[in-house]
Amino acid sequence: MKILVSDSLSKQGIDILQKAGFTVDVKTKLSKEELLKEIPAYDGLIVRSGTKVTAEVIAAAEKLKVIGRAGSGLDNVDAQAATRRGIVVMNTPGGNTVTTAEHTMAMICAMTRRIPQATASMRAGKWEKEKFMGVELYNKTLGIVGIGQIGGYLAKLAQGISMNVIAFDPYMAEERARKMGVEVVDLPELYRRADVISVHTPLTAETRSLINAAAIAQMKPGVMIVNCARGGIVNEADLAEALKSKKVAAAAFDVFDEEPVKPDHPLLALENFICTPHIGASTTEAQENVAIGIAEQIVDYFTKGIARGAVNIPSVPPELLPTLHPYLALAEKIGLLQAQLYEGGLERVTVEYSGEVASLSVAPLTLAVLKGLLTPILEDAVNYVNAPVIAKERGIEVKEVKSSDAGDFISVIRVRVEAGKKTHRLAGTLFHKKEPRVIEIDNFQVEVIPEGHMLLILNVDKPGVIGAVGRVLGDHKINIARMQCSREERGGNALLIIGLDAPLPNGVLQTIQSAQHILSVILADLSRAQ
């Protein structure tokens, strides 16, 4: 096997590959044209964040079987294009948890004590003790937005220096939070109470510009903001204005919306802003961890057929994959849709397999359901391997139930979640043994193709509702790909499901929501399912 390492990788990882008998070529800083020329000769590719593995690169990779990301983020890898080509994509999301949390804590300390500014002053030959008055962290409140692995470890570090920790995470079970000594609050309350706010969420459509001018207006005067997660979560223009007005006393970034940062970026001109060049995971230990991890995973895949850490297929023996693959796609889509329908902290997941599917090895299917459920929370940090671990860490109970009776269908996968003291049900099946369909959403019987962007509108069963929704979409030139109605009983509640060709422009959801007889509107995105 020939492996191309196109970004810098710790020698320990390269040694593991070579000891397994692989030919390893390290060729870093390749241009796009050079990578396109090189990639056809290789069976495996290892990257970090520098190499852009685009659909064009994947199309040129004639022999490529696996792409390994030494780290967690997959922004630079087109996983869907790889999946279509049958290429396994794997990463090592846990290898830099401690390092990134430590860097975040270091940024908090440096920001509150103005260490970078004081260092620059001394190097300029000054001794300005009075200028660099700091702020104690003792008994201050740290607000963590997104308390997954990194946010959870940061909470431990903060508690170690006697900070109070509150967190916003709609998917965190209260019992799990109590064990961590963390108080879970809603986002407005976190904004009101926190002295320091640190974000630790993936960058999604929902989290882009999560902290903007409106959010900052809810915060206490003199709040401090840290972003060592993903550029774009904090609106940089709005933050710059708040730093100028001193509404935000200080901010510290390791990541930016556009990298490398341009020298004329407005934040760089502000004295109460400090930053580092995306080095949160840059420690010797972390780089060794991810290098060793990805090398061992690739060796296991080529020598044993085991895809550990895969983000686009589960760890399933190769001979069973053709049979399971359609059900895996169905299970993940059910989980992903369910994740966008329920509200509140997720406490329990029950996956029921009925009919022929119950005779299969269903463990990978449950993993696929969990991956779908957790994807909106964690994005690239969740895969088929770590999904059950993450669920356990978050206090989510997972059960499997098998039944031989699938009713009118050959096979049914039904997912029931308990969250926010409510139970939500969603079921799916395969048409012609390969085409996923959702057939049940709570009390509604449906027949829905789970793909792309879907509007789910709960409304009172009254004349004119469908026409009103159609007019709003037509006025905004939004094409309807498919539509289906279902109702509990005549004159009761009804469910209108509309498949769209593209995401909705800003404001359309609110317009539909305000229409007469509309009870709720949800825009679900199923494009993230593999």
Task: Please tell me whether residues 468 and 499 are part of one structural domain.
Answer: yes
Six-digit token string for 122: 């001394």
Task: Please tell me whether residues 7 and 59 are part of one structural domain.
Answer: yes
Among 225, 260, 275, the domain boundary falls at 275
- Residue 170, preceding bond cis, omega within 30 degrees? no
DSSP-based three-state secondary structure for 412 = strand
Q: CA 36, CA 34: separation in Å to the nearest integer?
A: 5
Q: How does DSSP classify residue 39? A: G
Range of the domain at 387: 317-447
Contacts with 129 (C-beta within 8 Å, 6 or more apart), sequence order:
none
CATH number of the domain within which 47 lies: 3.40.50.720
In 3D space, the residue among 88, 107, 83 whose CA is nearest the CA of residue 227 turns out to be: 107
Q: Would you state the pLDDT for residue 319? A: 65
Q: CA 119, CA 294: separation in Å to the nearest integer?
A: 38
Task: Please tell me whether residues 163 and 214 are part of one structural domain.
Answer: yes
Q: Would you state the pLDDT for residue 429? A: 96
| pLDDT lower than 50: segments of the chain | none
Question: What tens digit of pLDDT does each residue of 472-497 get?
Answer: 999 999 999 999 999 988 888 999 99
CATH number of the domain within which 419 lies: 3.30.1330.90
Task: Please tell me whether residues 35 and 104 are part of one structural domain.
Answer: no
Question: Look-up: residue for tokens 């959870």?
Answer: 152
In 3D space, the residue among 59, 63, 71 whose CA is nearest the CA of residue 7 turns out to be: 71
Q: Would you state the pLDDT for residue 172? A: 78
- Amino acid identity at 273: F
The total of other beta-carbon atoms located within 10 Å of residue 299's CB is: 20
The total of other beta-carbon atoms located within 10 Å of residue 426's CB is: 24
CATH number of the domain within which 510 lies: 3.30.70.260
Beta strands in 104-180 (DSSP E): 141-145, 164-168
Please give the tally of structural domains in the chain.
4
**Cα end-to-end distance, the chain, whole Å:** 27
Task: Please tell me whether residues 515 and 483 are part of one structural domain.
Answer: yes
- Amino acid identity at 230: R
440 is catalytic: no
Task: Please tell me whether residues 109 and 231 are part of one structural domain.
Answer: yes
SS (HEC) of 312-347:
CCCCCCHHHHHHHHHHHHHHHHHHHHHHCCCCCCEE
453 is catalytic: no
pTM, full prediction: 0.67
Task: Please tell me whether residues 143 and 268 are part of one structural domain.
Answer: yes
Q: How far is CA 96 from the centre of its chain?
A: 16
Question: What tens digit of pLDDT does each residue of 228-276 get?
Answer: 999 999 999 999 999 999 999 999 999 999 989 999 999 999 999 999 9
Task: Please tell me whether residues 200 and 297 are part of one structural domain.
Answer: no
Choosing from 34, 259, 285, 435, which is the catalytic residue? 259
Buried b (16+ CB within 10 A) or exposed e, 323-351: ebebbbbbbbbbbbbbbbbbebbbbebbb
Q: CA 370, CA 416: separation in Å to the nearest integer?
A: 12
Contacts with 364 (C-beta within 8 Å, 6 or more apart), sequence order:
314, 315, 316, 324, 328, 384
278 is catalytic: yes
Task: Please tell me whether residues 228 and 377 are part of one structural domain.
Answer: no
Q: What burial class does residue 432 get, using C-beta atoms within 10 Å of its C-beta: 0-12 exposed, 13-18 middle, 19+ buried? A: exposed
Q: How many CA atoms lie within 13 A of 200 on its CB side?
A: 27
Task: Please tell me whether residues 325 and 439 are part of one structural domain.
Answer: yes
Choosing from 48, 103, 114, 230, which is the catalytic residue? 230
Task: Please tell me whether residues 469 and 414 are part of one structural domain.
Answer: no
Six-digit token string for 277: 């060049």
DSSP-based three-state secondary structure for 372 = helix
Q: How many helices (H) and strands (E) does the chain have?
A: 17, 22
DSSP 291-308: HHHHHHHHHHHHHH---T
SS (HEC) of 431-458:
ECCCEEEEEEECCEEEEECCCCEEEEEE
Choosing from 192, 278, 325, 437, which is the catalytic residue? 278
Q: CA 501, CA 521: separation in Å to the nearest integer?
A: 17
DSSP-based three-state secondary structure for 496 = strand
CB 358 within 8 A of CB 452: no
Q: Would you state the pLDDT for residue 192? A: 97
Q: How does DSSP classify residue 220? A: P
Task: Please tell me whether residues 250 and 110 are part of one structural domain.
Answer: yes
